[in-house]
């Protein structure tokens, strides 16, 4: 299949509109229609209904393959260009909100001190987006975090050849308001907190907690942002509990170490093949080298 035709089909399916896809891609609506028709002719199947514009069963199956295929193509292009590019003085780092902890921020400062001309741009995004951004060549390095058993790798999307190295692990703390009946404990069990009210936030995905400790964990307030201070302020005001790495708190809250199940907050450094230059030097320092 022609990847250009596939990309056009994905855009039309995402927008549910030929005209909106044309505006995004910079084509005429007629050209978009012709490209989708050419892809359908190649496969011998209708991929979209026209009124309304929506994927057919065959189109839905193709969409399951399309994003990974297009990502691998972009990753291959980025990898080739990266290998041929001369060393520069800009390092683009994609990081999840909790990944750049004090230890790694210190290592990044060491890297900058060793290369005084190096400029670093840090872009914050979600875990899956970190991996995709690095694969596409839109970032040189990525730092992704998550909750795992000690030494277990993070669950990352398939993006093609990618090196993922653990660079930090630390204890998790249950964040509670000061004065909470459990705030004076030295450690807590996750199962004992299944009936407590929890914040619904991307920083502490409740489906992951339910997977680890069973059903429960009712939500009180939802916050779809990723600002740690906002989350801690919500906890301190009694809107619900959350689970964060020890270095993220306690701030205005009380933090109690999670003892069972044995889980850690893990950070991994992600990168594709790195030519000699700032990227490889910073990667070595971030891994503790």
Per-residue pLDDT of the chain (289 residues; tens, 9 = 90+): 888 999 999 999 999 999 999 999 999 999 999 999 999 999 999 999 988 999 999 999 999 888 888 888 887 777 776 666 666 678 899 999 999 999 999 999 999 998 888 889 999 999 889 999 998 888 999 999 999 988 899 988 887 778 999 999 999 999 999 999 999 999 999 988 989 999 999 998 888 888 878 888 998 899 998 899 999 999 999 999 999 999 998 889 999 999 999 999 999 999 987 777 788 889 999 998 7
Mark 212-244 as b/e (b = at least 16 C-beta within 10 Å).
ebeeebeeeeebeebebeebbebbbeebbbbbb
> H/E element holding 50?
strand 48-50
Distance CA 11, CA 13 (A): 5
Three-state DSSP at 37 gives helix
C-beta of residue 94 within 8 angstroms of C-beta of residue 130: yes
CB atoms within 10 A of CB 177: 17
Task: State the alpha helices, DSSP H only, in 57-189.
Answer: 57-84, 102-114, 127-135
Measured N-to-C along each axis, helices 57-84 and 3-15 cross at an angle, to the nearest 10 degrees, of: 120
Pairing assessment for the beta strands 187-189 and 254-260 based on DSSP bridges: parallel
Residue 103 backbone dihedrals phi, psi, to 5 degrees: -65, -50
Residues 6+ apart with CB under 8 A from 183: 176, 177, 254, 256
Q: Angle CA(18)–CA(62)–CA(20) in degrees, nearest 5?
A: 15
Write down the pTM of the prediction: 0.73
Through-space distance between the first and last CA atoms of the chain, rounded to whole angstroms? 44
C-beta of residue 285 within 8 angstroms of C-beta of residue 110: yes
pLDDT at 88: 63
CB atoms within 10 A of CB 49: 11
pLDDT at 156: 87
pLDDT at 136: 86
pLDDT at 73: 82
C-beta of residue 127 within 8 angstroms of C-beta of residue 96: yes
pLDDT at 67: 85
pLDDT at 161: 79
C-beta of residue 94 within 8 angstroms of C-beta of residue 106: no
Q: Which long-range contacts (CB under 8 A, 24 or more apart) does 35-44 make?
A: 35/4, 35/5, 35/8, 35/9, 36/5, 36/8, 36/9, 36/12, 38/2, 38/5, 39/1, 39/2, 39/5, 39/6, 39/8, 39/9, 42/1, 42/2, 42/5, 43/1
Residue 201 DSSP code: B
């Amino acid at each position: 299949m022609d990847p250009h035709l596939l990309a056009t089909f994905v855009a039309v399916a995402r927008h549910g509109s030929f005209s909106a896809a044309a505006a995004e891609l910079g084509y005429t609506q007629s050209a978009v229609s012709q490209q989708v028709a050419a892809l359908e002719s190649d496969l011998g199947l209708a991929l979209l209904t026209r009124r309304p514009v929506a994927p057919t069963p065959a189109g839905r199956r193709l969409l399951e393959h399309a994003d990974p295929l297009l990502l691998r193509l972009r990753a291959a292009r980025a990898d080739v260009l990266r290998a041929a590019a001369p060393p520069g003085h800009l390092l683009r780092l994609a990081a999840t909100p909790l990944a750049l902890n004090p230890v790694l921020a210190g290592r990044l400062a060491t890297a900058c001190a060793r290369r005084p001309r190096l400029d670093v741009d840090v872009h914050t995004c979600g875990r899956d987006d970190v991996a995709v951004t690095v694969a596409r060549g839109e970032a040189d390095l990525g730092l992704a975090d998550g909750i795992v058993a000690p030494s277990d790798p993070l669950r990352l999307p398939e993006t093609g050849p990618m090196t993922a190295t653990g660079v930090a692990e630390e204890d998790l703390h249950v964040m509670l308001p000061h004065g909470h009946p459990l705030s004076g404990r030295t450690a807590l069990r996750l199962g004992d907190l299944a009936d407590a009210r929890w914040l619904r936030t991307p920083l502490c995905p409740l489906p992951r907690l339910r997977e680890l400790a069973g059903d429960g964990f009712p939500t009180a307030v939802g916050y779809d942002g990723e600002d740690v201070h906002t989350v801690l302020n919500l906890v301190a005001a009694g809107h619900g509990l959350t689970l964060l790495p020890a270095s993220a708190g306690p701030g205005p809250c009380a933090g109690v170490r999670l003892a069972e199940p044995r889980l850690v907050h893990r950070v991994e450094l992600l990168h594709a093949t790195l030519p000699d230059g700032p990227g490889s030097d910073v990667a070595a320092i971030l891994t503790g080298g």
